[in-house]
Structure formats: structure tokens, C-alpha cells
Chain A
Amino acid sequence: MTIAVFVFSLCGAMAIGMPVAFALLVCGVALMVHLDMFDTQIIAQNLVLGADNFPLMAIPFFMLAGEIMNKGGISRQIVLVAEALVGHIRGGLGYVAIAAALVIASISGSAAADSAALAAVVIPMMRSAGYNVPRSAGLIASASAIAPILPPAMPLVLFGVAAQLSITKLFFTGIFPGLLMALSLVIAWKLTARKDFADAPPRRFEWRVLVSAVCGAVWALILPFVIIGGMKAGVFTPTEAAVVAAVYSLLVSCVIYRQLSLADLPGIILAAAKTASSIMLIVAASMVSAWLITIAEIPAQVTALMQPFMHDKTLLMFVLMVLVFAVGTALDLAPTVLILTPVLMPLVKEAGIDPYYFGIMFMMNNAIGLITPPVGTVLNIVSSVARVKLDHVITGMLPFLLAETLVMFLLVLFPELVTVPAQWLR
């Protein structure tokens, strides 16, 4: 009964178009009434509890870093290097997109920033080289979905805080699965897109071009090493890494590339603060419903429902992944993470599944949710930035979506592919 109140109030409020954060509050109020413990202080108290959190400060900082990198020309420099490196291969701009997505993902914490930058820079190149544009847009959308797994990653911070896990450990666990996703895209591009770029003339590889591109981008290319190396060497915590990324990209954009002036700064900071607060209000509101979920002992009820699958970890993971995938088609990453984590974590712990393994799988699933219709933020961004109809992006994207989904279920069958490399990297 309590589960029904939870699900229906939340879904009903969202169905009439109410913003997710407020739908969570409505759900909280419904649960309070249902549990006969109505008290307005519960709302205020938990909203503050949700936002009053040091690790989550990584969110506005990553926001800021992403905003600066896109406006400050850093993303463009990275694409130029990728082009000089693999642009001469047949269908090379596809590999350029994947390679650039990987580098940008290891600097930025957000898929949205990634997809906006890539679509703006790479699509025009692909269009003028005669590539199938919807296919290209689809590739870029799916390549951007790697960003939430590859450190640094805001979604992992969000999950780490909600599940009370070490964020650094989550980061290092995400590296190998992120690379696997990229590999699956390379294969899918090679197999399916062969005929699409038949007309595109292959170009010559030139050392001179590569060297000059690398020289131009060297400050941008150092950044991933600063961030990951800095965390590994213990110079800073994940939150501090985010602020370092923001300050570093500001310096590079203002002093070296000179694409930004101080007058641009207030606008950039304001945009970052607003986007961050749109996520943070959901975080805060989810704390209200999470508090009531705890009081109502819903996780125990869900565990009881899942009892038939509890004895087999692989089966349970499979069921959970299908469930999360279904939720992800209609709901964005942040709300999915925040709503499901408090419900699922007790279950995962009780079943004896490694929480870090589960976290990465959960997050990969949510990242794929960013590109599954009907609600896929990254799809919308790519479609609007690349000026391709949404339907066409979706059709173009299908092989890549399939490839990434296959990787995910491969990792359900072989958890060692996540846990073993994580041990080497940590």
C-alpha cells in the first residue's frame, strides 16, 4: 500500500507536467499524510539536509568547468587533435568523435556539456565531409553517454553521496567500463556505418598537422592527468578536483587561448549556478521523499518483493537492470539516481552484490537512459545543436544504443570485467 502511494503520487504529479523536484515534494506530502505524521518541518529540514553537503559541491564546480571549457575553446582544440590523429582513416570523423568524446569525458563531469560541445564542433565537419548526418548525430549522442561513467563524473558523485560510498573508488571503478563503452561504439560504427561514408574521401595523415594540433591543445590535454593524477596522488578530494578543473580551465581559456575575457565571466557563472540548482533542488527534494521512504520501511518491502531473485546475484542484477532501463526511458538521470538509490541500495547490500560494481552498472544504465526516447536529455541537445530532427537522431542512433546496451548486459554476466580492472586501477 505504501509503495502504491509512493509510486502513484510521484508519477501522477509528473504526468501533469509538474517539475520533478516538486513532484518529489508532492510525493513526500502524500507519504506524510498516508503515514499519519503530517509535519511541515519535515519538508524544510530535509531540503536543507539534502543541499548542506560538501561532496555535492562538485556539481556546481563541474558545471562551471564545463561551461568555461565550451565557451573558452578548449573542447574545439581537443577535437582538432582527434582529427589529426584518426581523421585520415575511412570513416575517420566517427572515430574522431569517439576519441574526442573520451577526452572531453575525462575532463568534464557531464554528458550534457559533452554532447553540446561535440555536436557543435564535429557535426559541421561531418556534414561538410558528406557523412550521413542523422547517423553522425546518433553516434555523438551515444558517445556523450560515456561521460557519466568516466571520471570525473558528477553522476557518480550524486550516487556516491546517496549510497554513502567512496567517490574516489567509484571514479576508478568507472574507467574500464567507460572504455568498453567506447570500444563498442568503435565496433558498431565500423560495422553499420560502412556504407554511410562511402562518398567521404579519405584524407592523408600528416605528422605536421598532428604536432601542431597537439601543441595547440597541450594545456587542454594535460587537464585529465591533473584531475585523475591529482586525486590518485592525494593532492585533492573529488570535490576539490572539480574546483581545480574550473580554475584551471578558466586560466587556460583566459590566458592561453584568450577566448574568454573577464567580462564573460558573470554570465558563465550565472548559467552554471542556475543549472546546478536545477539538479540540486531535485537532490534536496528527493531527501524529503527518501526520509519518508525510510520511515515507511519501503526498502524492506521492496526486498520482500524481490525475494524470488535474491538467491541468484546475476538474475537479480538482470532484473534490476531491466527495471532501471525502463525507468530511464521516461526519467532523467539525476531523478532516477536520487529516487532509486535509497530504495535499491539496502536490497543490493543484502543480496551481497559489490556496491561499487552495482553503482557503475546502475550509472551506465542511467547514462544510456539519457539517450533512450521518449525522454532523453542528450538526444534533445544533439538534435537542437546539430539541427537534425529528433526522430532522425533516434533512428541514426539505434545501432550505437544497441551496442552500449549489449555492453551493459555483458557486464551483468561477467561482473569481473568491472571488478578486476578496478582493483588494478585503484
Chain B
Amino acid sequence: ATRLRFGYEAPRSDSQHVASERFKELLAAKTGNELQLQLFPEGTLGNAQALINGTRGGTIDLELSGSSNFSGLEPLLNVLDTPFTFKDEAHAYRFLDGEGGQKLLDALEKHNLKGLAYWDNGFRMITNTKRPVRTPDDVKGLKIRTTASAVHIEAFKLLGANPAPMPLAELYTALETGAMDAQEHPLGVLWSVKLYEVQKHLTLSRHAYSPLILVMNKPKFDSLPPAQQKAMIEAAREAGAYQRQLNAQNVAMIVEGVKKAGMQVVETIDPQPFARITAPARQFIINKFGGEDIFKQIDTVRDVP
């Protein structure tokens, strides 16, 4: 039997860990225990960048992290982070699980990574300590922590906020002390890092969708017999579907939970004004990295059932 090291940053309480357990079971079942995963949650093998690097170099076999962590390697992935590109989860899944998504995974191959499947981080939501966010005006002047992704920074500049990238490890303290007013993350992160303890207002802004990408060291993948390769991809996708389902179930629970913890929640906003103001971000990405055809592909599956 082959033991494979699989690392990710999410804590044990997260759906990523639960689904990784499922992934491990599925893989063992499909290969008659020939492939066995050894799980390393909580970033014990390093942060996302270190995990990606380790997987490329082969010191780690598989890793799972947000797509934006790969955009330094493959700039086209910036397209996925562009605000208001995906209408809803179904739209995102249609694109990612289809031809377009596969093309993006394949683009990672030249970087020694075999993209196995897209898992789910969910839509990003804005939280802050200052005021309920309902319109773009409410975002103006907020010191907001974003990822270091160029398109996230650009979008919040367009909205008139002061975006600053900062490591997730420093975020809780920065929000607690007020060095930052606001942050934007999917609900799962808000919950597992307990950011609701240091934030007052949550807006279900759904301003950008964040997929997770599950990758494997390419030479390692190529060395597997075809039947095991097939099992690997199937198990990764099935576990991914399960994780998406878990996240969908968790949304209501997390919104209830943060309300109980004292957060004010704005559940619906009109996305139109936000989308209008941040629309130039799309051209910004195209000018910088290309990807016009990918945007087109995303748009064509927008309303297909």
C-alpha cells in the first residue's frame, strides 16, 4: 500500500477536514486499501504557500487550498476571484466542473501540479466594526483586510475602502485592537477563526466566490497505475461534492451562531450597485493577465440549468 501525505490549513472543526476524512475512506475503498491518505489538518505542514511548494517539490503528496494561492503560479486563476463573476453556487459549480474549470486545472500541470478537483470555500462576505453595510457608500473609508490577490485589492479600491493584505494569523488581533475595521472571507473562515468575536456587523454580500483547489504532485500522480489515477480523481470529486453539501448546510447554522454571539446581520443587499462600481476590475484583470475567453465561458453557463 502507498501512504500519501495530504496537508491543508483548515482546522479539524471545518467541513474541509470532515470531507477529507471522507476522501480518505473513498480512496481506500476504491483502491482496495492500496492508496492510504495521511491527513495533516490545521496547517501543521505549513501555510498555503508552503503546502503548494511542498506539493510541487514532492515533500507533500496532496494539498488543498484556496484558488487565489495558486494565482502567483497561474495568473489566469485571478479570473475566479473577480467580484460578481458568479451569480450563485450553482453557476460556479457549472463552470468549475465543466470544460472551463478543467482547462484551468490543466494549466497547473506545467507547474508540476495535477489538479484533482474543486472544493468549496463559499462566497465571500464583508464584516466590520463600524456600521451595517447595505450600499457601496457604507464600505467607503473602511480599513479592510483582503487577501493579497490583485483583484481583491483592486475591487475594494474601486469601492473607496482602504484595502490592506495581512496574514490570516495576524487578522484576529488586528480586528480586536482596531488596527483593521473590516475583513472579507467566506462564512466558514469567519466561524472557525472566531472572527465574529471581534466584529459587529456581517453583510451577506456574496461579492466573490472562492473555490478551493485540491492538487497532487504530478510525477507522483503519473506514477500511479491508470485504475488508481481514475479512483483518485473520482474520490476527490465525490468528497468535494460532499464538502459543498456540508457548506450549504452550515450557512444557516453559522448565521444563527454569529447572531447569538452578538453580530448584527444584513441578510440581503442589492448587489447591482456593488457590481456596477467593481465592474472595471474585470478589465483590470484582462489587461494584466488575459483570460477574456474564460470570462466568456463563465458568462455562457450563467443561466443554463
Kindly state the separation between the CA atoms of A164 and B173 in the bound complex, as whole angstroms: 12
Pick the interface stretch among A37-45, A191-199, A219-227, A326-334. A37-45
Chain A residues touching B, majority SS: helix
Q: A166-B172, A238-B173, A294-B44 are in contact. Are A45 and B53 (CB under 8 A)?
A: yes
Cβ < 8 Å to A, chain B residues 1-56? 5, 40, 43-47, 50, 53-54
Kindly state the separation between the CA atoms of A240 and B44 in the bound complex, as whole angstroms: 26
Q: Which residues of A contact B50 (CB under 8 A)?
A: 45-46, 48-49
Pick the interface stretch among A4-12, A109-117, A229-237, A309-317. A229-237
A257 within 8 A of partner (CB): no
CB distance from B119 to the nearest CB of A (A): 23
B304 within 8 A of partner (CB): no
B222 within 8 A of partner (CB): no
A291 within 8 A of partner (CB): yes
- A236–B179 touching, CB < 8 Å: yes
Cβ < 8 Å to B, chain A residues 225-284? 231-240
Kindly state the separation between the CA atoms of A6 and B40 in the bound complex, as whole angstroms: 20
Closest to A231 in B: B177
A335 within 8 A of partner (CB): no
Kindly state the separation between the CA atoms of A42 and B7 in the bound complex, as whole angstroms: 14
Q: Which residues of B contact A42 (CB under 8 A)?
A: 59
Residue A237 contacts which of B54, B59, B177 (CB distance < 8 angstroms)?
B177
- A54–B167 touching, CB < 8 Å: yes
Q: Which residues of B contact A202 (CB under 8 A)?
A: none
Kindly state the separation between the CA atoms of A19 and B173 in the bound complex, as whole angstroms: 34
B89 within 8 A of partner (CB): no
Residue B169 contacts which of A164, A234, A291, A295 (CB distance < 8 angstroms)?
A164
Q: Which residues of A contact B179 (CB under 8 A)?
A: 234-237, 240
A64 within 8 A of partner (CB): no
A167 within 8 A of partner (CB): yes
- A295–B174 touching, CB < 8 Å: no
CB distance from A166 to the nearest CB of B (A): 5
Kindly state the separation between the CA atoms of A239 and B177 in the bound complex, as whole angstroms: 13
B290 within 8 A of partner (CB): no
A55 within 8 A of partner (CB): yes
Q: Which residues of A contact B172 (CB under 8 A)?
A: 166
B58 within 8 A of partner (CB): yes
B270 within 8 A of partner (CB): no
Residue B58 contacts which of A39, A164, A239, A291 (CB distance < 8 angstroms)?
A39
- B177–A234 touching, CB < 8 Å: yes
B170 within 8 A of partner (CB): yes
B219 within 8 A of partner (CB): no
Kindly state the separation between the CA atoms of A232 and B47 in the bound complex, as whole angstroms: 28
Q: Which residues of B contact A239 (CB under 8 A)?
A: 170
Per-residue interface assignment for chain A, residues 150 to 177, with 1 indicating a CB less than 8 Å from any chain B CB and 0 otherwise:
0000000000010010111100000000
B273 within 8 A of partner (CB): no
- B176–A168 touching, CB < 8 Å: yes
Kindly state the separation between the CA atoms of A235 and B174 in the bound complex, as whole angstroms: 9
- B173–A167 touching, CB < 8 Å: yes
With A164-B169, A231-B177 already in contact, 11 other A-B pairs whose C-beta atoms are closer than 8 Å: A39-B58, A39-B59, A45-B53, A45-B57, A54-B166, A54-B169, A55-B167, A232-B177, A236-B179, A238-B173, A295-B45
- 10 A–B pairs (Cβ distance < 8 Å), ordered by A: A41-B57, A45-B46, A45-B53, A45-B59, A54-B170, A164-B43, A166-B176, A168-B177, A240-B179, A295-B45
Closest 10 CB pairs of A and B: A234-B178, A234-B177, A41-B57, A294-B44, A49-B50, A168-B173, A42-B59, A49-B46, A166-B173, A237-B179
